[in-house]
Amino acid sequence: MSCKTIITGGAGFIGSHLTERLKAQGRNLILIDNLSTGRRSNVEALLDDKCKLIVQDVSEAFKDESIMDNVEEVYHLAASVGVKRVVDDPTGMIQTNIHDTTLVLEAAAKANAAVLVTSSSEVYGKCPILPLREDMELVYGPTTASRWSYGMSKAIDEHLAIDLHRNRGLKSVTVRLFNTIGPRQVGMYGMVVPNFVQRAVRKQTINVYGDGKQTRAFCNVRDITRAMTELMASKKCYGEVYNLGSTVEITMNDLADMVNTIADSDQGKQHIPYEEIYGKNFEDPMHRLPDTSKVEDAISFKPQYSLEDTIKELVALEQKSLEEELVS
């Protein structure tokens, strides 16, 4: 019987793009997604006898040990996403991230399957040294600020994967994802680019949180999923942690201006204090930039899609969506 690949969070933003890539490579796929943030429509056209969607929580799906029958690799993407969800329900996020990751890693170790764990740039907390390198110390705020709980939970996930690799030979690869953008990403959980694009296309003023001088580096999801599959294919990457993202910085003010220009919107931007959105004492790092030299050395990683081209694609898709809304 042919070997299978499991993708947890397979109907989500990144998961659906990974599904497309692996299906094109001829993999037999099992997607596990509770559709809390993922959408069946993201993968509907891909579903067939070699690509099946199980609509369940990861914790429920992995109670059935047969889920790992003939599974060769697991991409563990399922997690709580977005700053707003983290601030609104830190306890649920912590339980989901740590408990579900433990189940997936234990199952992979028992089945001798390779597993890729998606961590986050949030593990760096508010480390002031840039660019951020995988072996740097992690710097967090107080536990009374729930903002930092997401990064802490992801750091625990990394520890679990590394420990199982060292002590039980788990074939694990961990990737710290920086700001990833592309088609099918939604803005309702605080994702900046889809929010900017949606408002600009609808000729509404773009809301920029804070003073807009904070910088981020955005990478196209297609570059990210390509790197994921290449890292999993390389045995020398087992037990390692890699930053994945772009190294081209942009301020939120400049990003808003770029989106408005591409969308041909003259509505400009306005600045909104963080506390109006996330409550008092919310902290957001002014800068977050990855050092990608390690992943470059491992798989010659280099993003192929520019930020401007990605924004153009997203604006075109949003314009099409708006036209369809108006017709209906």
Report the C-alpha gap between 309 and 328 in whole angstroms: 29
Structure tokens at 292: 């990608």
274 is annotated as an active-site residue: no
88-97, long-range: CB within 8 Å, 24+ apart, which pairs? 90/146, 90/149, 90/150, 93/149, 93/150, 93/153, 94/149, 94/152, 94/153, 97/150, 97/153, 97/154, 97/156, 97/157
Give the active site residue among 75, 140, 150, 209.
Answer: 150
Q: Which residues of 217-247 are buried (b: 16+ CB within 10 A; e: fewer)?
A: bbbbbbbbbbbbbebbeeeebbbbbbbbbbb
DSSP label at 112?
T
For residue 107, give the nearest of 151, 65, 57, 77 by alpha carbon. 65
Which helix (H) or strand (E) is 164 found in, with range?
Answer: helix 149-168
Instruction: Look at residue 107 and give its three-state secondary structure.
Output: helix
Q: Which positions are annotated as active-site residues? A: 150
